[in-house]
Chains A and B, each alone.
Chain A
Amino acid sequence: MLAVVLALLVGIGAWTAVASGGPVAVHQENRFLSFPEAPGSSATVQIDTSFFTTGNPTVRRPAVLLAHGFGGSKDDMRSEAQDLARDGYAVLTWSARGFGRSTGRIGLNDPTAEVADVSGLIDWLATRPEVRLDAPGDPRVGIAGASYGGAVALLAAAYDKRVDAIAPEITYWDLADALFPNGVFKKLWSGIFFSTGSTSGTTGPAGTTTGSTAAGTGTAATDGTGAAGGCGRFTPELCAMYQRVAVAGKPDPAARALLEARSPSAVGNRIRIPTLLLQGQTDSLFPLDQADRAAQTVRANGAPVSVDWIAGGHDGGNPETARVEARTEAWFGHYLKGDSGVDTGPAFRVSRTGGIDTTTATVTLTGATSSRYPGLDGTASREVPLTGAAQTFANPAGAGPPAISALPGLGALGQLSGLGGGLSPALDFPGQNARFDSAPLSSDLRVTGSASVRIRVSADTDEAVLFAKLYDVSPNGQQTLPAQLVTPFRVTGARAGAEVEVRLPAIDADIQAGHRLRLVLASTDLGYASPTAPAEYTVALAGPPLSVPVDPQLSTVPAPLPWWVWGLPLLAALLAAALLLTGRRRVPTLPTGPAARTDQADRQPTPDPIGPMSPQDQLIPLRISGLTKRYHGAADRYAVRDLSFRVEAGQVLGLLGPNGAGKTTTLRMLMGLIRPDSGEIQVFGQVVRPGSDVLARVGAFVEGPGFLPHLSGRANLDLYWRATGRRAEQAHTAEALAIADLGEAVERPVRTYSQGMRQRLAIAQAMLGLPDLLILDEPLNGLDPPQIREMREVIVGYAATGRTVIVSSHLLAEVEQTCTHLVVMDHGRLAQAGPVAEITGSGDTLVVGTADPVSDTLLDKVAALPGVEAAERTDSGLLIRLDGTSADRLLVELVRLDIPVTSLGPHRRLEDAFLTLIGGTAR
């Protein structure tokens, strides 16, 4: 906001446009053009110009002149010029006399100087091969510009018949009226205006420089052509006029005449071309009534006119640059290019503030449009009675401290004030004003135009200067001044009392129901010069109520939201649906019919070695066929390959294999954690998929325990069971906890447990609900010997109930002691499957320890015993293979032979078998 203020103070009307870098290269030619300093004069001024075109230079196209604002130069217009050039126009920008690098003096759009220069520029355009001509020497040309540049557009339209369309923006119709409204000197804006012209000089081709940058100090120009003190590059007559009025504090007729003669209003009846008037709503320099008079005049001449009350203005910045440029382009597209398909927009449009978008720190704007411009009186009016007795107040000596309404550049704050109320800089000093309030409004009131009221003024002086403003007063008493605007007026013959019709500032403002309107008449205002002699004024309402213009025909078009606000969620929903529908990976299941099994047999030499397929699949706890899995990133290495085996009810199956044999991967697939690449796992006749219902009949302990460390052992089991969604009485938590045997530790958080405790708790969790198929992966790791034995008995006992247990282990002895059947895996393949005894051989070889070495004779006798297949001597005794007898009977026979038996035990051959199996597979 401060930046806006600074920008406006530094360069009034420096109405910069935002560049939108297009892909098309714009050709720019800079040159100085010489024009006579005055008509018929031999002295010349050098005007700095830039000519922008795109594409083929021999294609003739309409031309647009872009005029800069006061204090600016042609450089301000570059980006807008480039945009228009890309849009197919030949665009000429120039620095007006006294600005930028152009020479000459500022004549405030003197018809014989600045306006004549424009005719010279049009002459030059007519010589260009790029420019379309309506007639020889008459190019198709439009003029756009803001503020000072807007006025030159109006003036050129009046003075040069070759101009075909104009789009002046925030400019004046009658400069005298703008600077001396109702005979009151607008001192603050005028001061800024003149000091800017005095100090804005830059180095020109003639070596022109002006020194000071301090506004208002008016340094003497070191311009070679010389200038009066404090007036910089202004022409002497303008300089003298300003100094005279500023000292007097009130305009004189000569000053009025001088400014009026240079205003568009002087030649308004000559403007007969399409005119787009864009006027700012927060503009205390050139308020809306300036555009209103322009619109009425040009319309009366019969030319098409559109009026657009834009947001901002000289006080409020330009929040609508893009829209303004687009509308200007559309205007020229219709009237210069002759493209009747281009919509020039509504006859009347008002930008309205919706509020502030705090994210982008911008004011949200909506537009209200109407097909008819109603002027400042609206299409209807609403009478609002004001109350209040006659009030007497002072005009302070020295006219200070002044009341504050608009501050140049602070209009943006005023916009904020319209929303919240508090930042309104409007300030009235007690005792220096009269106020008249309405009753709270019964309904919302949208003021569009200029309200009016009749008052009676008397004073103890002949002349009184008053400032009228219309406040919006909220129920809690907070008052805001819409657009920060005020109407100054001078009352002559006030000593006798005078009745005055006061036209309040033209605004577009929404007064909410419940709010009051307050008419304030103050004796001072910061922006204006008022009498310095002390005086007393008395003001009373005269007759009719306040007449407020409204325009119900204006229909508000909400600011369109970008398409993506609605479109993006829809697109996202579609994308999400696509992601979910396409992501469903097809599980490759092998057909289980006999034909398929034959096919399978070709690839797998030992399919389903445990037994033939049973028709009663539902009774088979586990059947794995053709199971294959490769992990990502290991394309050439199979974790499990063509694995097939089956487990019958009541079996305790040992799953054996060295590290990396694929045991855990198989168990994970069995639990539905990993999807097989091919093949399938059936549990009780149902194919296992992630989350299969049949998994409820499987209890598993795989690759270590997994508990919530912050919860106790009991809570873990409890919550785990509740997570399965099954009934609590099916859980058998007490039995499971008995197996875990944790004692009081069961109430402690699991994070305090030892490895063995967690292990036991995990096995207990696997047994919750007494699953029909229990899978235990290395269940004895981390247990001490007594616990190992206990666990072994648990496992055997569990299988004895007819349920099935799968134990994966690398403790061969444990497997041999616990399991009834074995599956040996190596490198992801099945190495062997079958009953333990089948794999370990007969399993009936006994090791007999003897106190003394056994003699050959005895050895022969032993070998000859019935039921003994062979006997051989070892280091510490005998190794006897039985064939039909049992260990106890053998012991009796051995004792009978007087062999000093110290021990008798089975010979563990699993290790041998295992090593043979995995050694025998291809590596």
Chain B
Amino acid sequence: MSAEQPVTTEPAAAQPAPAQPGPTRTAACRALPLRVEAVRQLRRRRTMAMAALVVALPLIILLAFQVGGSPGGERNQVTFLSVTTGSGLNFAATCLFLSAGFFLLVPVALFFGDTVASEASWSSLRYLLAAPVPRSRLLVSKLGVAALFSTVATVVVPVVALAAGTAVYGWGPLQLPTGGSIPAGTAVQRLLIAVGFVLVSQLVTAALAFWLSTVTDAPLGAVGGALGLTILGNILGQISALGSIRDFLPSYWAYSWVDALQPQPQWDGMLKGTSLSLSGALVLTALAFRHFRAKDVVS
């Protein structure tokens, strides 16, 4: 590149056309590195707000338990809420229990649903594509960063809860709502499995949001659409009249990670949930790539 030729504000004497070769193919392969995409997304207000929220949530729950005292004796309530104050691990399990169903889906839907659509709404998408960033490469980078942010958001909740809960309730075995307990060392592993499953079960919502993000130029449409459909799935999952049809709703298995927090972990529900979530995510992601690859970008 002819760096010595300044872009002057005066007509310069005509010089021979610089016939230097264009940037090589490797440039396109290196286009939109994950680090660059992460920086582009990181300083957005919604990213910051989400980060603050996931850190604050366990602390707010902790405060609620501190203000409200230990959980009441509702005997038929066999959830982790009834043993929240047993130990730091219990508090982490409770926070996961309270947030996994809907709260943690919000950052996932946001990070995956907003990522392409917001570029389209800013008009920056066309400049990225013309940079050129190959379309699949763009989607891969976007997926990677959204997955990274979502994972961090999902992991932060139990980690902060574990730290805060341990500070307040101490370190000890995980008390089970059905009675009994799991030793702390084993319980940490089980919680890791639980968080892992929560992450996997979010895949289908993530892929749905991502696909919508490539379809619409309205970020709100993609995020809201993905959340809306997930909530619809949750509602249908509550209708026992649907019987075994519910088995095929990915959100129906959203809480099956609780099965990992038993003396003998149960894998059936988690396997089913993983199967459905993975399958849905595969198809939806393929749809996203297929659609975006052939899309006429007119935003």
Contact = CB atoms under 8 A, between A and B. Distances in A.
A360 B269 contact: yes
A184 to B, nearest CB: 29
Which of the four size classes fits the interface of chain A? 35 or more
B255 A695 contact: no
A719 B36 contact: yes
A674 B297 contact: yes
Contacts of A790: 9
Contact of B22 (A559, A673, A693): A693
Nearest to B265: A355
B272 to A, nearest CB: 6
A797 B5 CA distance: 11
Contacts of A793: 9-11
Contacts of A723: 31-33, 36-37, 40, 128, 131, 133
Contacts of B124: 706-708
A709 B45 CA distance: 10
Contacts of B13: 800
B258 A358 contact: yes
B218 interface: no
A619 B17 contact: yes
A895 interface: no
A699 B6 CA distance: 16
Interface in B105-149: 122-135, 137
A572 B18 contact: no
> For B24, B135, B293, which residue has the most chain A Cβ atoms within 10 angstroms?
B293
A421 interface: yes
A738 B6 CA distance: 11
B286 A579 contact: yes
Interface stretch (A173-181, A394-402, A563-571, A909-917): A563-571
Contacts of B17: 619, 649-650, 772, 802-803
Contacts of B122: 706-709
> For B5, B43, B127, which residue has the most chain A Cβ atoms within 10 angstroms?
B127
B262 interface: yes
Interface in A716-761: 719-720, 722-726, 729-730, 732, 735-736, 738-739
B179 A422 contact: yes
A423 B178 contact: yes
Given A723-B32, A797-B10, A803 B18 contact: yes
Contact of A725 (B3, B33, B135, B296): B33
Contacts of A323: none
Given A579-B286, A671-B130, A355 B7 contact: no
Nearest to B138: A691
A703 B15 contact: no
Interface string B250-291: 001101101100111110110111011011101101110111
B1 interface: yes
Contacts of A704: 123
Interface stretch (A236-244, A455-463, A537-545, A762-770): A762-770
A772 B18 contact: yes
Contacts of A562: 247, 272
B137 A364 contact: no
> For B262, B282, B298, which residue has the most chain A Cβ atoms within 10 angstroms?
B282
Given A675-B294, A705-B123, A693 B18 contact: no
Given A355-B262, A696-B131, A720-B131, A802 B9 contact: no
B40 A575 contact: no
Contact of A797 (B8, B16, B37): B8
Nearest to A360: B269
Contacts of A800: 11-15
A632 B269 CA distance: 44
B242 interface: no
A691 B28 contact: yes
Given A359-B256, A474-B180, A695-B131, A801 B271 contact: no
B68 interface: no
A355 B127 contact: no
A810 interface: no
A708 B40 contact: yes
A793 B12 CA distance: 10
A802 B18 contact: yes
B296 A673 contact: yes
A13 B230 CA distance: 41
A650 B10 CA distance: 15
B199 interface: no
A690 interface: yes
Contact of B130 (A422, A584, A698, A798): A698
Nearest to B288: A579
B99 interface: no
Contacts of A585: 293-294
B259 A356 contact: yes
B67 interface: no
25 contacts: A2-B76, A354-B268, A419-B264, A420-B176, A420-B179, A568-B276, A569-B278, A691-B137, A693-B132, A696-B132, A706-B127, A708-B124, A724-B132, A725-B33, A730-B1, A736-B7, A738-B7, A770-B5, A772-B17, A790-B9, A793-B10, A797-B7, A797-B10, A800-B13, A802-B18
Given A420-B262, A801-B5, 13 more contacts: A356-B266, A358-B255, A420-B180, A421-B263, A559-B268, A575-B283, A650-B17, A705-B123, A707-B124, A719-B39, A725-B28, A793-B10, A801-B12
For the complex of A and B, list the 3 residue pairs with the smallest distance between their C-beta atoms, beginning with the closest.
Answer: A422-B179, A706-B123, A420-B178
Interface of A: 2, 354-360, 364, 416-417, 419-424, 474, 476, 478, 559, 561-562, 564-566, 568-569, 571-573, 575-577, 579-580, 583-585, 618-619, 631-632, 649-650, 668, 671-675, 684, 690-698, 700, 702-711, 719-720, 722-726, 729-730, 732, 735-736, 738-739, 765, 767, 769-770, 772, 790, 793-794, 796-798, 800-803
